[in-house]
Amino acid sequence: MQDSHLDPRLDPNLNPDLDPDLDPDSGATSTDSADLINPSQAKTQLPAIAPDIHAKSADQPLPMGSWRFWLPMLMQAALIIAVPTQSAITYATGTTVTLKTVPVDPYDFLRGYSQTLRYEISNPEVLANLPGGPEIFQEGYQPTSVYVILEAPALSSEPPVAWQPKRVSRDRPASLPANQIALRGYSEGWQVVYGLETYYMPEDQRQSINQQISQVQRSSDTAFVVEIKVDDRGKSVPVSLWVSDRQYRF
């Protein structure tokens, strides 16, 4: 027999929030039904996995001491390799050019295992008298790169005859006659340098060479010239030193 004193909260007709499919005698409530898991959802909901704090991310930066140490080392190594390589290319493919030297102070000439060399085209006053010179070597000019256009002698000889400077330019000429070449230098104010100013010699020959050069420089009729190689960009490397009729390789 049905209890006439049924709790109104359990009567679906009196309580609209109550699910009519629930058995009032089962003791289940609508709150309990909300806690039930849909089987279709249970298949797709996976338990969360705790992240591995020791795992390294793909975009995690390298340790600071790694690339900051190796990058400068690699750049220095590239420079060390590039300089001799460029000199070797110039030596192998460049044009042989002969430069006329000028006397050097004896106290400045001999320095340990090296000798200081200067050339006729090292003097800005000489270059200022050439075409293009007044615009570059005017009073109060700033240090700058220059190109000296040299012309080969009509005949070859031994010892070789120096090439003659014809003009100067701030820019490398786009084209030149076959018997001319552009040598790149840098004006430092009181002189123009070409990277050809130092000659390193064997220890057992330096005193003898120095004496021969001193004798040659006192005689304007005796050759004292330097052979170099110049590439198509104006870069140069020394090849040999001629003292009278004797040749000394660099």
Q: Is residue 231 part of a domain?
A: yes
Return the pLDDT at 67. 64
Return the pLDDT at 126. 94
pLDDT at 116 over 70: yes
Predicted confidence band of residue 173 (pLDDT cuts 50, 70, 90): very high
Does the N-terminal peptide bond of residue 131 adopt cis geometry, omega within 30 degrees of 0?
no
106-110, 185-189, 239-243, range with the lowest pLDDT: 106-110
- Residue that wins the pLDDT comparison between 195 and 138: 195
Return the pLDDT at 30. 46
To which residue do tokens 């390799």 refer?
81
Number of domains, the chain: 1
pLDDT in tens, 139-150: 667 788 999 999
Q: Is residue 38 part of a domain?
A: no
Predicted confidence band of residue 192 (pLDDT cuts 50, 70, 90): very high
Q: Is residue 64 part of a domain?
A: no
Q: Is residue 36 part of a domain?
A: no
Question: Quick one: 214 exposed, middle or buried, by C-beta within 10 A (0-12, 13-18, 19+)?
Answer: middle
Return the pLDDT at 137. 87
Calculate ∠ Cα 163-142-192, nearest 5°.
25
Return the pLDDT at 55. 54
Calculate ∠ Cα 97-229-236, nearest 5°.
110
Q: Is residue 53 part of a domain?
A: no
Q: Is residue 139 part of a domain?
A: yes
pLDDT at 160 over 60: yes
pLDDT in tens, 52-83: 555 555 555 555 556 666 666 666 665 455 44
- Residue that wins the pLDDT comparison between 133 and 56: 133
Contact 118, 100 (CB under 8 A): no
pLDDT at 104 over 50: yes
Contact 187, 136 (CB under 8 A): yes
Predicted confidence band of residue 179 (pLDDT cuts 50, 70, 90): very high
pLDDT in tens, 19-47: 555 554 544 444 444 444 455 554 555 55
Return the pLDDT at 189. 80
14-23, 87-96, 132-141, 186-195, range with the lowest pLDDT: 14-23
92-96, 145-149, 221-225, range with the lowest pLDDT: 221-225
Predicted confidence band of residue 246 (pLDDT cuts 50, 70, 90): confident
Q: Is residue 166 part of a domain?
A: yes
Return the pLDDT at 74. 67
Domain boundaries, position 133: 94-249
Sign of the dihedral through C-alpha 198, 204, 210, 213: negative
CA–CA distance, 99 with 226 (Å, rounded to integer): 5
